[in-house]
Structures are given as C-alpha cells and as structure tokens.
Amino acid sequence: MRRTSITYTLSHCVHCLKCVKACPVSAVTLVDDRISINKDRCINCGQCIKACHSKGLVASGSSLEAIRDYPYTVCLVPSALSSVCKSLEEAERLFYAIKQLGFDEVIDLSPVEGQLKRETQRICEELDHGNGIASFCPVIKRLIETSYPMLMDNLVPLNYPSEVMAKQIRKRENGKETGIFLMCECEAKLALAKEPYKNDTYEVDHTLAIVDLFPQLRAHFPEGREEVHFCRSGLQAANPSVIVQKQEYLIADGFDKINDILSMEEFNLLNDFRMLYLFPCFNGCIGGHLLWGNSYLTRNHIDALTGEENLPVADYPIEDLYKEMVIENEDTRSFTEKMDEFRRVNEVLEKLPRYDCSACGMQTCRIMAEEIARGHKKLSDCRVLAASKERV
C-alpha cells in the first residue's frame, strides 16, 4: 500500500494553489475547496510543503511517545543529520542528545550508506543497458515508478540504508521485541516505516521528523557525548558535491535537472556516462527540508567532519543489501479500455483552453480533461471557459 507523509490542514489553507502548481507529478488537486493529495501519485518529495506559505501542508512522522510501546528501542541516524555538526565533538553531542530522547541505542547509518554507495558503483559499472540510477533516495525510486517507468530496469536494485540496517538489527535481536526508529531529514524518509499506516513492507517501525525534536535536542546537547563510529565515504554520500568524482558519473540535484536528465536517458542520449546519482533536494540529502541548517553551510560541516583526523571508523560486516525493484499498482486495464479513455480525454482536451492555469484546482488542462472524461468534473468548471462565456 502506498502512503504519503504529507498532511493537510483546511483551516490554514488560503487556496492559493501554489502547491497544486508545484507538484512535479501532478498529485495535488483542489477539490471542493480542499487540497487533496493522490496517494498513488504522490512521491513524498515535499515540493508542495515548500511552496505552501500558510502551513496548510506539513509532513509528519510518528510521535516520540511511541518509544513507550517497546521494551528496547534503537534510533537510526542517516549521515545527512550529522551535517548540522561542525566537528566530531558536536556530532558526539548530537548522538548523546538523540539518545537522551529515550532510546537504548543510537546507530549512525554512514557505514551502510558507504557500503551501498560502493555496491551501486559496482552494479553500474557492470550494467549493459544504459545508465544505472542510484536508488537510495525514495523520491527518485517513486518518481521513476510513476513518471519514467521505462527506466525501471535502470534502477539499481538496492534497499534503503535504513532498511538494510533495520534488517541487521532484527537478525541480531533474534525475535526479541525491538522498536526501530528512523530519524529523518526529509519528508520522503518519513514514509519509510510500518506505522502509523500499518505498512508491513518495512522493517523500521516508526519515523521521526528531526526538526520537531529540535527543542529537546538542543536542551540535551551540552550535557554529554556519545561515542559514534562513522564511515567517511558514507558521510559523503549525502552531499552531491563530494559524493564521487568521476567523469562517468552524472551527479545532479534539484527537480528541473533531474527531469531533464531522465528524459534524456529515455532517449539513450547519455551514453558517455555509466551512472546517474540524482538528488531531488538542492545540495542533496543535507538539503533535506527537515534539517534546520542551511545546506550551503552544512556542506562545509560534512567536509570538516570527514576531515577529522581521529574520526572513529566503523568496521562491521553489512549484508543483505538487495531489493527487487517493482512497479506497484500497475495498470491492468486492457488496451481497448486504455485507448477509449485516451480518446475521450483528448476530445475534452480539445475544448479546454490549454493554458494550464490551475484555476479549476487541477494542475493542467489534461488532468482536468481526465476528470471531466471520468465524470468527476464538468466543462463549465473551467474558469477560463466560464469567464469567456460571461463576456459574451
């Protein structure tokens, strides 16, 4: 089952349609004066939240209260989070502060991220059809599933870092009840857990938005330090400017560039490359919307942290990295049915102004045409057509 981590509050909404226009996959619509997010289309990228100026849309994970449901709890920390720390000392203080939230154990994910990065490179070097596409960003995986299904075969079949680590913990705990939490720097990662939507495809139980816990973390920050073992290449995996420097690797951040690159890959125009490392967030994961630092500074922080001479380096085996890439909810309608709908939609589209103004609440005239063809909307709901009739 699909889910979105984004929630909507009607009382804050000013119906400005900024979110409708901002969505890169046309999942946001305004219906009956309410914003509605199509769960099958949403890729949890958070562009609508960024566009919203009235706090009508927010991303939320679980509440910290959920810790009480488990006798033993582990918190996973992606390396992007360490980018808010200027030094090893600050990183140790951050991990201490996270532990003080009530966790029995805090685990840094950089060793898993480093391992997945190496494996991604290896797979891409050996791939015989086009470029491999790094898959550790859930937004990229979902974007390809929904908008570039032709490139599903190019997605590197590796699991998310949090899942690889969570599986390893389940194995270690050997059936003992353990609550696995994931601290998140972005909206997309908030959707990678069992709760609260009873999604059993994940090993992580709950996700938490780090920005919501900022006051508590700040309070505990000066109190002590917790030893952390990092992996240098894993820490760099969150930052496109240093991730890997090789001519055959195309590294890009931001939706405009990503869409451009993926369209080119569909035409096989990127033959001089071997791998596409794509980050929807500007400056990569360290530019995640749930982090408080500005991502130009945090880029320097990661550099400083990886440059620490006495950085304790993690050394343990990491296994079970793979995951099959499949398209969920595939369209099962027959060719005739699909073609009939295509023709009906096109007939309606001919009558619409094609300005894609979004005034009707749909992002584009095509989506409006689909809604009309399905009988959910009427031609008279088009504001432009209605206005031109009034003038006559």
Partner 1 sequence: MTAVYQRIFTVEQDDYASAGLVSSLIKESLRYMGISPAVVRRVAVATYEAEINMIIHAYGGTITLEIGDDGTIHLLAKDNGPGIPDIEKALTPGFSTASKKAMELGFGAGMGLPNIKRNADVFHIESSPEGTILDLLFKEKS
By CB under 8 A, name the binding residues for partner 1.
Answer: 149-150, 152, 263, 266-269, 331, 333, 335-336, 338-339, 342-343, 345, 366
Q: In whole angstroms, how close is the CB of 74 to partner 1 at the nearest point? A: 39
- Measured from the CB atom, the residue of 339 and 379 that comes closer to partner 1 is 339
Q: In whole angstroms, how close is the CB of 336 to partner 1 at the nearest point? A: 8
Q: In whole angstroms, how close is the CB of 333 to partner 1 at the nearest point? A: 7
- Measured from the CB atom, the residue of 319 and 337 that comes closer to partner 1 is 337
User: Cα 182 from chain centroid?
Assistant: 14
Q: In whole angstroms, how close is the CB of 158 to partner 1 at the nearest point? A: 21
Contact 115, 318 (CB under 8 A): yes
Q: In whole angstroms, how close is the CB of 268 to partner 1 at the nearest point? A: 5
* Tokens found for residue 139: 């937004």
Q: In whole angstroms, how close is the CB of 278 to partner 1 at the nearest point? A: 18
- Measured from the CB atom, the residue of 310 and 336 that comes closer to partner 1 is 336
Give, as one character, the DSSP assignment of residue 312. Answer: P
Q: In whole angstroms, how close is the CB of 298 to partner 1 at the nearest point? A: 36
The burial class, CB within 10 Å (0-12 / 13-18 / 19+), for 375 is: exposed
Nearest to 75 by CA among 210, 175, 274, 176: 210
- Measured from the CB atom, the residue of 322 and 342 that comes closer to partner 1 is 342
Can you tell me whether residue 36 is helix, strand or coil? Answer: strand
- Measured from the CB atom, the residue of 79 and 131 that comes closer to partner 1 is 131
What is the distance between the alpha carbons of residues 352 and 183, in angstroms, rounded to a whole number?
A: 46
Query: E strands along the chain, which residues?
Result: 6-8, 28-31, 34-37, 57-59, 73-77, 105-108, 132-133, 179-184, 206-209, 249-253, 275-279
Q: In whole angstroms, how close is the CB of 39 to partner 1 at the nearest point? A: 20
- Measured from the CB atom, the residue of 36 and 147 that comes closer to partner 1 is 147
- Measured from the CB atom, the residue of 267 and 316 that comes closer to partner 1 is 267
- Measured from the CB atom, the residue of 219 and 339 that comes closer to partner 1 is 339
- Helix, strand, coil % (nearest 5) of the chain? 45, 15, 45
Q: In whole angstroms, how close is the CB of 44 to partner 1 at the nearest point? A: 22
- Measured from the CB atom, the residue of 174 and 336 that comes closer to partner 1 is 336
Give, as one character, the DSSP assignment of residue 310. Answer: T
DSSP string, 231-284: -HHHHHTT-TTTS---TTEEEEESHHHHHHHHHHHHTT--TT-SEEEEESSTTG
Q: In whole angstroms, how close is the CB of 332 to partner 1 at the nearest point? A: 10
- Measured from the CB atom, the residue of 147 and 241 that comes closer to partner 1 is 147
Contact 123, 99 (CB under 8 A): no
What is the distance between the alpha carbons of residues 348 and 125, in angstroms, rounded to a whole number?
A: 47
User: Cα 282 from chain centroid?
Assistant: 13
Contact 302, 285 (CB under 8 A): no
Q: In whole angstroms, how close is the CB of 273 to partner 1 at the nearest point? A: 14
DSSP string, 124-177: HHH-SSS-EE---SHHHHHHHHHH-GGGGGGB--B--HHHHHHHHHHHHHTT--
Q: What pairing do the DSSP bridges indicate for beta strands 28-31 and 132-133?
A: unpaired
- Measured from the CB atom, the residue of 269 and 387 that comes closer to partner 1 is 269
Nearest to 204 by CA among 212, 194, 214, 190: 194
Nearest to 301 by CA among 49, 83, 16: 83
